[in-house]
Every structure is written in structure tokens, then in C-alpha cells.
Structure 1
Amino acid sequence: MRTAEFDNDYVLRQAMLAFMEFGYAKTSMQKLTHVTGLHPGSLYGAFGNKKAIFLRAIEQYQKDRNQQFTALFHNKQPILETLKNYLSLIVDECIKGEVAKVCLLTKSISEVEGNDPQICSVLRGNLNAYENTLAEQIQKALDNNEFKSSKTAQQLARFLVMGIYGIRTYALTNSDPKALQLLADDLYCALLN
């Protein structure tokens, strides 16, 4: 049997962008062959059906996001300073363009909720992991006495996640960089109070 001769990560990232732009239902195999540059037989042979490609694209998305997050928080800066930089990074992504504003996980869960329990379970798991990762960083900041709060790290992370999704959603209708950065700054300040 012949081995696939393409960059798996590249193909999954291209598929991920298509799903982010068009959504799960409107991303056809024809669109996937177009964005990946692969023939239908190669796509089916390597990944199977559209659902399998989607699940692998989600996996790639999470892997890329985790690497970005880990690199950002793996430094000598105080956690709160890094967290503020992270919010600015979210704003920068929102300014870059329509697809960059969208979180693949949140867009997809609202689309497939109730239609596919397996996909919903994977998406929920990834969203919960994101919240927990933020909670770990917030707990470190609390442990380092960078700030004090009457709320738990998990409660603060949940609030932060809600705000990040809110910024991304707001950016779909208003991409003014100053307005988006002000929202991020307000979110950061609200987190500390």
C-alpha cells in the first residue's frame, strides 16, 4: 500500500480554516478537496468521511492552541502580565480577519448541538479543558499573591472564557481595534476585582 505524500498538519489546518469559515454543515467534501489540494480519494483514504476529517481538524486546532498558550505562559513574566498579553493576542486575532475571529470550538458546538453527540462531546471536552487551563494559570497568580479574589480560580476562569467568547462575537459586528482592546482591558480589570 502506498503511503500518503502530503503534510498531514497542513491539510488539517486547511480543513480547520474551511470549517471555521463555512461551518460543519456547509463544508462539503468538494470544499475540503479544494482547500487542501487533495483529490477526493486521497482525503477519503487518509481520513475517512467528513466527520472524521472534522474531528481530526478539531484535534489539530486544539494542539495548535495548546502550543500557543503554553509558549505564551512559559516565561518569566508574572501570570497576570501574561494574561493581559493573552487578551491582547485575542484582540489581534479578531482584527486580522473574519476567520481569525471565530473559535472553531464555539462556532461548531452551537451548530451541531443536538445533532451529533460524539462531536458535541469532543467539543465540550476541549472547551472544558480550555477553561481548566486558564484556571490553572489564575490559581498560580493567586498562589503567587499577584492579586486576591473572593472567587475561586475556576469561577474566574469561567468568567474570563465568557468574556473572550464575547469579544470574539462582538468582533464579528465591530472590528474597531480600539473598541476591542478596550473590551479586553475591561475584562482584565473585572477579573481582578
Structure 2
Amino acid sequence: MGRNKEFEEETVLRKAMELFWKQGYEKTSMSDLVEYMGIHRKSLYDTFGDKHTLYLKTIDYYTVSISERLKTVILQADTASKGIKDIFAFMINGTNERPWGCFLVNAATELALWDKEVEEKIEAVFTQTEKLMGEQVRKGQESGEFKRDLNAEVLGEILHCTLLGIRVYARTSMNKEKLNRLADNFLQLLKI
């Protein structure tokens, strides 16, 4: 008769994500994961598969978490402009809780060029986020907050690239004043 799991799957998955986030995929060994996650090697393999499969699961876990948080930020804003401003604030201030940059940006820069599965996951998340940003821009155009002469989808892509740039920059410098200035200037470009 098999033993029951002695750990909460989501808790140890979050720990694996944190370790990959801090060290990167290549620098994280299975021994590192076993120790950091606090589970037996056999339990890790039985529950999550090999290191690569575990890494893909951490990308999925992060994706769900960040998508929900972004949607919450947007839903709580009473205007499109406020929603975008709050997204920038979330991205800029999110570096306080984890100063290792954006997990997805790290995955993209470390693995996406040579790992097709990682590339596909990152591309899907980036496309989803661009769409979300485009919808927010369109909302602002329809309400009269933003200029209508530019395509909302293209502006959503530009907004997403700006947010990614901020996340990369935040990892190299904690100059939040500069990051907030970039966010404010982006919003000014959208406004009528």
C-alpha cells in the first residue's frame, strides 16, 4: 500500500518556482530542489517528474498567479488610465517582494531560444498579456481618455514591451523614481 503525500503540492511547487527564480534553471540542481522544497527525491519525481517538467509546471503556476493579479488590478480601477497606472505600479513595486526580476522574463532570456516548450509557454503568456493591455487601451479610447488615432492592439503590444523593460530594469537597479517617470510618460503618450 502506497504512502500518503506528506506535503502540500502547491506549497512545494511555489518553493521550486522560488529557487528557479533565484538561481535560474541551469544553476539549479535536483539536489538543490530536494533540499529547498523539503521533500524526498522520489516524491519529487513521482509528483512532478524530472527537472524540466517541474520547471514547466512552475511557469504554469506563475502564469496563473500573475494573470489573476493583473486582472484584479484592472478590475479594481475605475478608469482605463488608472488601471494602466496601477499595472505599472504593480510591476515596479513588485520588485520589493522578489528582487530577482520577472520569472517569465528570466525564463525567456535563459531558455526560450533553445527550449521549444518554454518558448511556447512564454509566447502564449506574452500574447495573453498583450491582449489584456490592448483591451485596457481600447477601454480608454472608448471612454475618451486615450487617443483614438492608434490601434489599441498595437498599443497593447507596446505597453507590454514597456512593462517587460521595466521589469528587466528593476532587476538591475532599484531606482523607482526613474521607473515611475517612465510609466507616467507612457501614460501621457496615450492621453488626448
Normalised to the residue count of structure 2, the TM-score between the two structures is 0.90
Consecutive unaligned residues in structure 1, runs of 5 or more: none
1:148 aligns to what SS in structure 2? coil
Residues of 1 paired with 2:77 and 2:170: CA distance?
31
Cα displacement (A) at 1:179: 2.0
Q: Is the 8 A contact 1:149 1:192 kept in 2?
A: no
2:76 aligns to what SS in structure 1? coil
1:88 aligns to what SS in structure 2? helix
> Per-residue CA shift, 1:128-186, capped at 9, x if unaligned?
11111211222222222222232111111111111111112222232122222222222
Residues of 2 paired with 1:7 and 1:38: CA distance?
10
Consecutive unaligned residues in structure 2, runs of 5 or more: none
Matched with 2:94 is 93
Matched with 1:25 is 26
1:170 aligns to what SS in structure 2? helix
Q: Is the 8 A contact 2:145 2:191 kept in 1?
A: no
Residues of 1 paired with 2:17 and 2:90: CA distance?
20
Aligned residues: 191
Matched with 2:119 is 120
Relative to 1, partners in 2 of residues 1:3 and 1:146: Cα closer, same or farther, differing over 3 Å?
farther
Normalised to the residue count of structure 1, the TM-score between the two structures is 0.89
Alignment RMSD (CA, Å): 1.8
Relative to 1, partners in 2 of residues 1:192 and 1:26: Cα closer, same or farther, differing over 3 Å?
farther
Matched with 2:185 is 186
Matched with 1:14 is 15
Residue identity over aligned pairs, in percent, reads 28
Spell out the pairing of 1:27-176 with structure 2 (5 A cutoff): 27-75=28-76, 77-99=78-100, 102-176=101-175
1:26 aligns to what SS in structure 2? coil
